[in-house]
């Protein structure tokens, strides 16, 4: 594997999930694979889980790890081709990415969308420029439109905790105070549509996701109906795709509560974190046995390790 940017870069998702679970049982089985190999983890935006879990995964594989918080520590990047750089930007992405490729065997990059220009964000121009100019394999640490390491960890979690062959998985929109990207729900939908699950998306009118990511899902604006008999509930906020990046008024009653769990099949509640307590998800859920959010975050290590192992094997 030379690129991990979406589910489409994975030959067989079931095998990758199984690999993650095997690594969870035996984290140091491939400690020699990454010897004298270096991964650079480049963050243009904040992170807790992605940064630490990917770093731990790489260390488990015996790799050297360099972390660069580009947003705080790097030179201000110029992203436009042909720019006359007489303003605030100091270094062009062409040189920055190419230089990183000189130091690293694999690069991970996190780059959030601006949520102002939909075409710009959905073209994944920053992520794609890193891929183009760094010259080494690249793993997405969350791009403008996808978060594949999160989705793989989510699928590993579902595989691990499911009590039936084909569980019902519901992605439900949740309220938030800020406009958030569509990367996590897009990516989760894309992975679930390829997994052996009954997949339902519930959101208020106006929060339709780009259909490129939801092909095969059942989509409804009736949250109560969607939650019936659910085995897993994936809670996530996202801003509107049209009008792009907007928070629409109302819908506070979409926050999940214990009462809403009653018609489910004793559903396990997932969230990628960070989560705003009592806005997106109630204390009573997060502090209950129904919540598997910490378990899910723990699985980020095995998702990253499965992907990095495949990348190292293809170097
Ligand atoms: N879920 C997730 O990606 O967390 P971080 O933003 O903290 O990395």
* Strand bridging mode 198-202 / 268-270: unpaired
pLDDT of residue 60: 98
206: left (phi over 0), alpha (psi -120 to 50) or beta: left
The CB-side HSE value for 247 (13 A sphere, CA atoms) comes to 12
- Cβ 45 under 6 angstroms from ligand 1: no
Spacing, Cα 48 to ligand 1 middle (Å): 5
Whether 181 and 144 have beta carbons less than 8 Å apart is answered as yes
Ligand 1 closest atom vs CA 51? 8
Spacing, Cα 311 to ligand 1 middle (Å): 22
Whether 65 and 38 have beta carbons less than 8 Å apart is answered as yes
d(CA 107, CA 97): 9
50 annotated to bind ligand: yes
Mean pLDDT for each 10-residue chunk of the chain (315 residues)?
98 98 98 98 97 98 96 90 96 97 98 97 96 98 98 98 98 97 98 98 98 98 98 98 96 95 98 97 96 98 98 98
51 annotated to bind ligand: no
pLDDT of residue 246: 98
pLDDT of residue 309: 98
Strands (E) across 141-188 are located at: 168-173
Closest C-alpha residue for ligand 1 atom 4: 49
272 annotated to bind ligand: yes
Asked if the ipTM is above 0.90, the reply is: yes
- Nearest to 94, CA basis, from 113, 110, 111, 79: 79
49 annotated to bind ligand: yes
d(CA 234, CA 197): 13
Maximal C-alpha separation, the chain: 60
Describe the strand order of the beta sheet including 64-69 as a list of residue ranges.
3-4, 138-140, 106-110, 38-43, 64-69
Return phi, psi of residue 176, to 5°.
Answer: -160, 160
- Nearest to 278, CA basis, from 202, 176, 165: 176
- Cβ 52 under 6 angstroms from ligand 1: no
pLDDT of residue 62: 98
Q: What is the pTM of this model?
A: 0.98
């Amino acid at each position: 594997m030379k690129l991990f940017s979406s589910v489409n870069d994975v030959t067989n998702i079931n095998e990758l999930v199984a690999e993650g679970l095997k690594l969870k049982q035996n984290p140091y089985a491939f400690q020699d694979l990454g010897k004298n190999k270096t991964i650079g983890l480049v963050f243009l935006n904040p992170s807790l889980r992605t940064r630490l879990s990917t770093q731990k995964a790489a260390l488990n594989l015996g790799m050297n790890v360099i972390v660069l918080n580009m947003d705080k520590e790097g030179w201000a990047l110029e992203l436009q081709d042909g720019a006359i750089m007489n303003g605030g930007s100091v270094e062009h992405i062409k040189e920055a990415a190419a230089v990183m490729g000189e130091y690293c065997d694999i690069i991970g990059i996190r780059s959030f969308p601006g949520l102002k220009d939909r075409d710009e964000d959905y073209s994944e121009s920053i992520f794609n420029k890193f891929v183009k100019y760094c010259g080494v394999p690249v793993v997405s640490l969350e791009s403008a439109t996808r978060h594949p390491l999160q989705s793989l960890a989510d699928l590993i979690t579902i595989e691990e905790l499911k009590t039936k062959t084909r569980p019902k998985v519901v992605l439900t929109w949740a309220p938030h105070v800020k406009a958030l990207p569509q990367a996590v729900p897009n990516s989760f939908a894309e992975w679930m549509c390829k997994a052996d699950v009954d997949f339902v998306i519930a959101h208020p009118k106006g929060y339709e996701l780009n259909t490129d990511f939801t092909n095969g899902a059942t989509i409804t604006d009736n949250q109560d109906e969607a939650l019936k008999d659910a085995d897993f509930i994936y809670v996530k906020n996202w801003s509107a795709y049209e009008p792009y990046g907007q928070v629409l008024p109302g819908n506070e009653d979409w926050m999940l509560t214990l009462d809403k769990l009653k018609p489910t099949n004793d559903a396990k509640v997932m969230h990628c974190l960070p989560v705003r307590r009592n806005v997106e998800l109630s204390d009573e859920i997060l502090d209950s046995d129904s919540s598997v959010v910490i378990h899910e975050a723990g699985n980020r290590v095995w998702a990253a390790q499965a992907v990095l192992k495949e990348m190292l094997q293809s170097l």
